Amino acid sequence: MKKLASLGFVLAFWGAWQVAFAQQGLIDGQVTKVDPSASKITIKHGPIPRLDMDIGMTMVFAVSDPKMLTTVKAGDRIKFDADRVNGQLTVTKLQKAR
Ligand SMILES: [Cu+2]
């Protein structure tokens, strides 16, 4: 019984860790420009090693869903995730940082 309880604890801990890790995976950035007509957003961001960006920069991203662009404006601090979609760097997740 004791063994079962500790297994439950380990599983709960693992789950919480996964959630924390997923949130940490988001990239910090600041919106410098939103262009709904082109479905593009310009973001100033820090290094993103997994996208081969070893230094911070300001750059234009496409968005996976144009609705994202209605939730932020220039100057907003954000957390986002990006990936290469059809060879184009695309924001796949976007939320305001608090
Ligand atoms: Cu970049």
- Give 57-76 pLDDT, tens digit per residue: 999 999 999 999 999 999 99
Q: How many angstroms is it from 42 CA to the middle of ligand 1?
A: 10
Q: How many angstroms is it from 58 CA to the middle of ligand 1?
A: 6
Band the pLDDT of 98: cuts 50, 70, 90: confident
Say how many C-beta atoms besides its own lie within 10 A of residue 77's C-beta: 13
Q: How many angstroms is it from 3 CA to the middle of ligand 1?
A: 48
Mean pLDDT across the chain: 89
Q: How many angstroms is it from 13 CA to the middle of ligand 1?
A: 34
What the block records as the tokens of 57 is: 């920069």
